[in-house]
Amino acid sequence: MTKDEILAKTGLTVGVDNVSFSVAEGETFVIMGLCGSGKSTLVRCLNRLIEPTSGEIFLGGEDLTKMHKDKLRQIRRKDMSMVFQNFALLPNRTVLENAEYGLEIQGIDREERREKAMQSLELVGLAGYENSKPDQLSGGMKQRVGLARALANDPEVLLMDEAFSALDPLIRADMQDELLSLQEKMQKTIIFITHDLDEALKLGDRIMLMNDGKAVQTGTAEEILTEPADDYVQRFVRGVNRGDVLTAGDIMSKPWATVTLGQGPRLALKEMRKYGMELLFVLARDRKLAGAVTLEDVVKTAEKGEKSLESILQKDIAKAQMDTVITDLLPLTVNGTLPLAVIDEDERLRGVVVRGSILEALIPEGGDEDADSSTSA
Amino acid sequence: MLIPALLPRIPIGNWFATLVRWLKDTFEIVFDAIVVFLDWTIDALEWLLNFTEIYFEIPSFWFLSVLLALLAWKMSGRGVAIFTFLGIMLIASMNLWGPAVQTLAVIITATIVALIIGIPLGILAAKFNPVNAVVRPILDFMQTLPAFVYLLPAVIFFGIGVVPAVIATIIFAMPPAVRLTNLGIRQVPVELIEAGEAFGSNWFQLLFKVQLPQAMPTIMAGVNQCIMLSLSMVVIASLIGGGGLGSVVNRGISRLDVGLGFEGGLAVVIIAIILDRLTQGSED
């Protein structure tokens, strides 16, 4: 039966249609889709704020859908917390009283819950505001209270329903950064709902794209950008600033040829001629990048008959880390030498990036075939 | 005419009279208990309002005018405080303080009972739709049925006196308390309810920690309306022995004494304004 047939027969709209996914412990899993794609319904099914009509939800081996109400309440109190789009703070309570709501519900005594709530307010950077009322705070601060309230319970799973969507762009970016750094410390399992692909790509270890109640594609940011499953995903992805997502490691090619410091100009010249290069990377021991030499200098030293590249070695060359995003590579390619050297944490040369591959990466796939339809996306 | 022949006379009036008689015979003990309870409450209130006079020979209007003025100052500001003091003095100077105390005792009793029944009923109506479906038409009935119509059964059940007057007042004044409590709870934003549930609140926690605090301003408006409607029943209730300022107005009407009627009416208005400002001030 299709969605329309169900609507005609029962008067009910299908919110979430046959979606399955699993989230690993400590993972940030982003569910993304446009309005009406069923993502908010889906997240509410996870803690049964909305009862799913069929299906199973496992949390650590237990099926939430078959659970008795009292047991479910315990899960909501201890294991799963939720952060809401419009903050959902109680306006009659102070920031501290809001943050301790979950603990109060559990019947934890006043002093202990105060202490825990204060800790979690400090964690989100709201120490000193504990006696303010929510309407005295800005949007970003309100959502910090929402986050503090959710964290005060010390849950395993954090459900975030469009948590940053009501914030203006700058505050939003700050909150995203903050969530990332908090997550590095806490290692919670986060299920994050958003309609903003840039946000999804920034936060998500993995992303599930939803359309019309169905899961369209699940994968890492790169997988979604580079291998969109269908036209819908592709249209979505086209608007993304790929430069903020793809990294040097994604687009680099293997270094064709290198010489080590001990090898002489003659060998360097031979290598450069073989591949038609004007710049050659020179490695120290352990394949650590020492620098580069230019064709011009190599020819001169070879003519002089010197045995070492030491004198003409340029140490100050443009280098990028594996995880540098393309946007940050661009300035290097304008001012620095080309190709770019890509190194890992141990300064070993892992690959090179030429300008062509940067430009290629920035153009969306299939971009010029139907450029008109991008406006409808 | 053809129609009366085709359409039989349905004796609703007779049925109702029979029902009232049956109720009176069957539940006599219950009605008597209600009479005893309400009589006692009203007497206690009257004693409370007059205790300075009884024990310290300070006229109660001095004591109450100062007390209420201070209360009004704290809740609504200086203007209302001055009005309260002068208003009570004016009532006393018209020699109407005695009836005014009686009236106060009646409406306070009626309001308290109406709220004790009305607010929980409003909560139930908000939480359970079937309750709402049953309660709503009853409230419509209570509000629109002319008050004189239920004066009669009230007299049959409770006899003549202050108690049937209080009962009639309760019936008339309760609907807004139920309706506004219901409305206030239903108007709490869905997201707040979801937040309450998502953190594992049970039924009572959700009610007392989320819904009632958010609904408070609306519920207080209901309390205010409840008091105002009780006051507006004062004159009608005096027809069956409600006493107080209502019977002053009635005396004025029956003797065609315009001055007396106006003074009684004015005293009711002054009390209404004082109580309104006091309860509205406490809304914020």
Query: What pLDDT sits at residue B44?
Result: 86
Neighbouring C-beta atoms of residue A372, cutoff 10 Å: 6
Q: Which CATH architecture has domain B97-281?
A: Orthogonal Bundle (1.10)
Peptide bond into B164 cis (omega under 30): no
B188 to chain A, minimum CA–CA distance in Å?
10
Q: Looking at the partner chain, which of A84, A90, A93 has a beta carbon nearest the beta carbon of B194?
A: A84
Q: Are residues B192 and A49, on separate chains, in Cβ contact within 8 Å? A: no
Distance CA B177, CA B219 (A): 7
For A113-130, the pLDDT digits (tens) are: 999 999 989 888 888 888
Residue that the structure tokens 């009962």 belong to: B167
Q: What is the ipTM of this complex?
A: 0.73
Query: What pLDDT sits at residue A364?
Result: 62
Range 174-233 of B in CB contact (< 8 A) with A: 189, 191-192, 194-195, 197-202, 205, 209-210, 213-214, 216
Contacts of B215 in chain A (CB under 8 A): none
Distance CA B212, CA B129 (A): 18
Q: Are residues B198 and A49, on separate chains, in Cβ contact within 8 Å? A: yes
Query: What pLDDT sits at residue A29?
Result: 93
A49 to chain B, minimum CA–CA distance in Å?
7
| Residues facing A58 on adjacent strands | A63
Lowest-confidence segment of A7-11, A23-27, A367-371 by average pLDDT? A367-371
Structure tokens at A33: 């889709």
Identify the burial level of B143 via C-beta atoms within 10 angstroms of its C-beta, where 0-12 means exposed, 13-18 middle and 19 or more buried. Answer: middle
A327 to chain B, minimum CA–CA distance in Å?
39
Structure tokens at A61: 């081996």
Give the containing element (helix H, strand E) for A33: strand A28-33
Q: Are residues B197 and A76, on separate chains, in Cβ contact within 8 Å? A: yes
Q: Are residues B201 and A82, on separate chains, in Cβ contact within 8 Å? A: no
Q: In this model, does residue A216 exceed pLDDT 80?
A: yes
Contacts of B198 in chain A (CB under 8 A): 47, 49, 76, 80-82, 159
Neighbouring C-beta atoms of residue A59, cutoff 10 Å: 17
pTM of the model: 0.73
Identify the burial level of A360 via C-beta atoms within 10 angstroms of its C-beta, where 0-12 means exposed, 13-18 middle and 19 or more buried. Answer: exposed
Mean pLDDT taken over chain A: 82
Length of chain A: 377
Contacts of A167 (CB under 8 A, 6+ apart): A139, A140, A143, A175
- String of DSSP letters for A203-231: H-SEEEEEETTEEEEEE-HHHHHHS-SSH
For A43-64, the pLDDT digits (tens) are: 888 888 888 888 888 888 888 8
Q: Are residues B214 and A86, on separate chains, in Cβ contact within 8 Å? A: no
CB B175 within 8 A of CB B139: yes
Q: In this model, does residue B40 exceed pLDDT 80?
A: yes
Using DSSP's 3-state secondary structure scheme, residue B23 falls into: helix
Distance CA B103, CA B266 (A): 13
Comparing alpha-carbon positions, the chain B residue that sits nearest to A82 is B198
Q: Are residues A90 and B192, on separate chains, in Cβ contact within 8 Å? A: yes
Contacts of A73 in chain B (CB under 8 A): 200, 202
Domain-wise residue ranges, chain B: 97-281
Closest to B69 measured CA to CA, from B54, B58, B80, B57: B80
Question: What Cα–Cα distance (Å) separates residue B138 from each residue in A309, B112, B135?
Answer: 101, 20, 5
Q: Are residues A92 and B213, on separate chains, in Cβ contact within 8 Å? A: yes
Question: DSSP letter at A56?
Answer: -
CA A350 to chain centre: 23
Give me the phi and psi of A342, to 5 degrees please: -110, 125
